């Protein structure tokens, strides 16, 4: 790996939001009103696997989807809805808007960002790209519309390896941003010539290898599942490394009855639904002398709730706006990924 130093902003991690407990009656009322409003407004709910399980379930019950970031992007383009309500983080709503400029895109909370997005400001990133004009710029979906517009390819964790292999076969050198851990994993796996932007995911960065090894020794029959935004030494412990979809698939398809899971704990909702007989254990986020900021719960994903979902549908607030020119530029590398993904289906 080339040694390049870049000063990136320090990301302030918010506290995990505390939502008031709802009575069974209040919850049922909220869900009922949300369902009615989605129908009246010809809207669909598109939720990520890390959001509150009630939002995930509601998305599926109402004809929307719960998915990884690639599938969320795809779902919006294939839907006939006029309104997409994206329960996830800001880049997911922006990607939906970029791909569906004629649709209204709402989000329960516009401040729900991502440490990777925050750690890669467009002006600094653009200056970095200018220094390496001979590199193909590949950015992870967890970035702003402006950063996407500066790239040649956008990728998500489920397609990143395939895209980089493809570029390597074409003899291209890659400038990768913003997740250094995912970038390193891809480089190690593909052998591609890559330089990296040094941001990271505050949630996955907290998984601790020594504690994981100890946990593993206590459960020798468990398979270890790791999202590739985790540090290299944690990835090295994995039986399966992959996107949220790939990790869910592993739980349903592997014969193991126990799994240690190193990703946001919101994913357990879908894993439990699909494989109720399997035991799921959270990978440790606290090592000796360390405390966790997020403790395997993304604080920004946690900003989505039934209450603010209800509010945006009721008031039509929190709409994502992206200028047509920016959307046009950012759509090119996203569409390139979607077209490439079709060849892999």
Residue 205 touches ligand 13P, criterion: CB under 6 A: no
Cα 1 to Cα 186: distance, rounded to the nearest angstrom: 12
Residue 120 touches ligand SF4, criterion: CB under 6 A: no
Nearest residue (CB) to ligand 13P, 100 versus 158: 158
Minimum distance between the CB of residue 314 and ligand 13P, rounded to whole angstroms?
A: 28
Contacted entry of ligand 13P, ligand SF4, none for residue 308, CB cut-off 5 to 8 Å set by kind: none
Minimum distance between the CB of residue 67 and ligand SF4, rounded to whole angstroms?
A: 14
Residue 200 touches ligand 13P, criterion: CB under 6 A: no
- Nearest alpha carbon to residue 2 among 186, 149, 196: 196
- Nearest alpha carbon to residue 112 among 74, 148, 86, 138: 86
Cα 165 to Cα 2: distance, rounded to the nearest angstrom: 19
Total of residues contacting ligand SF4 (CB under 6 A): 13
Question: Are 246 and 228 spatial neighbours (Cβ–Cβ below 8 Å)?
Answer: no
Task: Return the ∠ at Cα 128 (arms to 124 and 132), rounded to 5°.
Answer: 165
- Binding to ligand SF4 by CB under 6 A, coded x per residue (else -) over 205-244, reads ------------------------x---------------
Cα 71 to Cα 243: distance, rounded to the nearest angstrom: 11
Cα 205 to Cα 214: distance, rounded to the nearest angstrom: 18
Question: Are 34 and 309 spatial neighbours (Cβ–Cβ below 8 Å)?
Answer: yes
Instruction: For the segment 127-186, give every residue that binds ligand SF4 (CB under 6 A).
Output: 142
From 20-28, 63-71, 95-103, 164-172, give the range in contact with ligand 13P by CB under 6 A: 63-71
Binding site for ligand SF4 (CB under 6 A): 89, 114-116, 142, 201-203, 229, 264, 298, 300-301
Binding site for ligand 13P (CB under 6 A): 68-70, 142, 156-158, 201, 227, 229, 243-244
């Amino acid at each position: 790996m080339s040694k390049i130093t870049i000063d990136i902003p320090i990301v302030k991690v918010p506290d995990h939001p505390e939502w008031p407990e709802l009575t069974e009656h209040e919850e049922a009322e909220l869900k009922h009103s949300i369902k009615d409003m989605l129908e009246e407004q010809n809207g669909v709910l598109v939720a990520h696997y890390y959001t509150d399980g009630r939002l995930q379930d509601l998305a599926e019950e109402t004809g929307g989807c719960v998915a990884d970031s690639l599938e969320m992007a795809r779902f919006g383009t294939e839907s006939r809805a006029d309104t997409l309500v994206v329960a996830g983080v800001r880049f997911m709503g922006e990607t939906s808007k970029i791909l569906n400029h004629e649709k209204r895109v709402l989000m329960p909370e516009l401040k729900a960002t991502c440490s990777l997005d925050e750690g890669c400001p467009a002006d600094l990133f653009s200056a970095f790209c200018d220094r390496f004009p001979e590199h193909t710029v590949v950015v992870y979906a967890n970035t702003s519309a402006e950063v996407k517009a500066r790239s040649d390819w956008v990728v998500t964790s489920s397609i990143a390896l395939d895209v980089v292999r493809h570029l390597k076969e074409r003899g291209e050198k890659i400038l990768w941003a913003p997740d250094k851990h995912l970038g390193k994993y891809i480089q190690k796996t593909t052998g591609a010539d890559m330089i990296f932007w040094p941001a990271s995911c505050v949630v996955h960065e907290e998984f601790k290898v020594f504690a994981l090894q100890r946990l593993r020794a206590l459960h020798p029959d468990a398979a270890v599942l790791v999202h590739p935004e985790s540090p290299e030494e944690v990835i090295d412990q994995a039986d399966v490394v992959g996107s949220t979809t790939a990790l869910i698939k592993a739980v349903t398809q592997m014969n193991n009855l126990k799994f240690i899971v190193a990703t946001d704990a919101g994913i357990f909702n879908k894993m439990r639904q699909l494989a109720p007989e399997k035991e799921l254990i959270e990978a440790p986020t606290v090592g000796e002398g360390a405390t966790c900021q997020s403790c395997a719960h993304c604080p920004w994903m946690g900003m989505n709730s039934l209450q603010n979902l209800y509010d945006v549908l009721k008031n039509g607030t929190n709409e994502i706006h992206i200028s047509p020119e920016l959307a046009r530029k950012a759509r090119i590398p996203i569409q390139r990924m979607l077209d490439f993904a079709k060849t892999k289906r």
